[in-house]
Structure formats: structure tokens, C-alpha cells
Amino acid sequence: MPGPDYLICLECETPTYIFEWVEGRVVEAVCAVCGNEDPAAFLSEDEYEEMAVRDEGSEGSDDDE
């Protein structure tokens, strides 16, 4: 599977296109907005969406569906 088009910086939640993707994981990434360059602090679009869905699920205790 090829890498994602972009990664999302967890520090400022901004997409970045400056990264290197090797064998299914981030090996290098740089955020032009906040200067973050820790590969562990970036997620692919898919991973980010998964995380967002989990966050919503954990907080939705009193919505009336």
C-alpha cells in the first residue's frame, strides 16, 4: 500500500506534505506551521480519522439519538 498524500501534525492539527513514509510508517516529517519534527507526533489521514471517531464516542454520553 502506498503512503498517504499527507500527514496531520498532532501539535497543531495541520496537514503537512513534507514527510517520508517507509513500509507503512512515518520515518521523517516536518510541520511548517509549528516546527514539529517528531515522526511520532504525526498521523496519516486514516489514523487521524480513527482517532477522531474514538474521541467522539467516548464523550457522547448525553446526546439524544
Is 9 a binder of Zn ion (CB under 5 A)? Answer: yes
Does 36 help bind Zn ion (rule: CB under 5 A)? Answer: yes
Q: Which of 15, 21, 34, 37 binds Zn ion (CB under 5 A)?
A: 34
Q: What is the dihedral of CA 51, 52, 57, 63, to 10 degrees?
A: 170
Q: Which is nearer to Zn ion, 19 or 64 (CB)?
A: 19
Cβ distance 1 to 13 under 8 Å?
Answer: no
Under rule CB under 5 A, residue 11 binds Zn ion: yes
- List residues near Zn ion by CB under 5 A: 9, 11-12, 31, 33-34, 36
